[in-house]
Structure 1
């Protein structure tokens, strides 16, 4: 049974990916929420068959974080995962030695195929994604209040909690969420949080 490490600071995304892989019955999965935590697990276990790194989690930079992980991974393929990274970031990761780039938006069947391909020693390059001009390549402009709301979303707070923190009405927060989601082209709150992190908006 293949052993996989998923390192991602977005709890919902990480746990969803881990649960999906475990449900396949073919993988055992360990989790980390930051690069230092991932490094510690690798150094302690040193027996992973595949390592997946979110490129915007705490402690992670490209290419340094990738290079460090590859150096201690004892030959295990190291791939980058992201929900909103641009094609240029993906290409940079692959050029730096990543075994693959896995968009978090891929469907479960494609994800499973990608993981199997990586475990077999292949390089996973989502060519359609890499060839697509990024709609979010340019930095999005959010107002200070929208940034406050986005920060609250990234902290996992509900609209009511954000409204209390900012001393505004909950309906005002809802309007800000709707506006910033449109600006970020986000499908939902979770997607907006991923975009905000990946574009270093907060």
Structure 2
């Protein structure tokens, strides 16, 4: 039987409580052994997390990512796409979802490859329930931080998108350390006009100080002259 458990819904344009980083975390499980899937589902739900189980990598890939914190408990040996191949396939688009590998046939080269590719744990069956729960807890905390950071960065990008072209020019000059008069000279505008633009930049970016604005610029990856 290859049923999966309630895939997360695709995010809507309006955020709801379930879309936020503090929503119930989701633990994805990909294992071709039905008994293992059912046992892990029960264990995960008993711990207070949401479980979504899949019998193959393809079924997992057909399910949209979780909006909040999540992790993946992944068997190495799967029909079709292997666990290690799945890890490679999702590395770019689900970077905030830590992977915990589980296998009954692990070896050192396999574990090294998985860990080098970013896996947070590599457990060999059989393993204790608490060992797995500890690994999942640590992975979800790591995901929660990543999801929160991504949300904060997206909010920053949204603020920057609302700046006018001139405000962006003023911001670039200010964060580079130039005085208002120098920025005005660069742009061919008066110092008073620069101050007005600078004030609007600080307001739109929700920056409380110049140092904070500089940090925001660095987070956005903006070049400094």
User: If the length of structure 1 is used for normalisation, what is the TM-score?
Assistant: 0.53
Answer yes or no: is the 8 Å Cα contact 1:62–1:93 preserved in 2.
Answer: no
1:2 positional shift: 1.4
Answer yes or no: is the 8 Å Cα contact 1:11–1:33 preserved in 2.
Answer: yes
- The CA distance in 2 between the partners of 1:63 and 1:107, in whole Å, is 23
- The CA distance in 1 between the partners of 2:83 and 2:53, in whole Å, is 20
1:93 positional shift: 0.8
| 1:72–1:59 CA distance, 2 compared to 1 (3 A) | farther
| 1:50–1:44 CA distance, 2 compared to 1 (3 A) | closer
Query: What corresponds to 1:39 in structure 2?
Result: 61
* 1:62-84 deviation digits (Å, cap 9, x = unpaired): 64321112333252112221123
- The CA distance in 2 between the partners of 1:46 and 1:83, in whole Å, is 31
- The CA distance in 2 between the partners of 1:4 and 1:62, in whole Å, is 16
User: If the length of structure 2 is used for normalisation, what is the TM-score?
Assistant: 0.48
Aligned partner (choices 61, 70, 74) of residue 82 of structure 2: 61
Answer yes or no: is the 8 Å Cα contact 1:5–1:48 preserved in 2.
Answer: no
Q: SS at the partner of 2:136?
A: helix
* 1:49-105 deviation digits (Å, cap 9, x = unpaired): 111211111233364321112333252112221123123311221112222212231
Query: What corresponds to 1:141 in structure 2?
Result: none
* 1:102-141 deviation digits (Å, cap 9, x = unpaired): 223111111111111111229xxxxxxxxxxxxxxxxxxx
**1:103 and 2:149 are equivalent in the alignment:** no
Answer yes or no: is the 8 Å Cα contact 1:70–1:78 preserved in 2.
Answer: no
Following superposition of structure 1 onto structure 2, how do residues 36-185 of structure 1 map, counting pairs within 5 Å?
36-41=58-63, 43=64, 45=66, 47=68, 49-61=70-82, 63-121=84-142
Q: Which runs of 5+ in 2 are unaligned?
A: 1-23, 144-225
Let me know the Cα RMSD of the aligned residues: 2.1
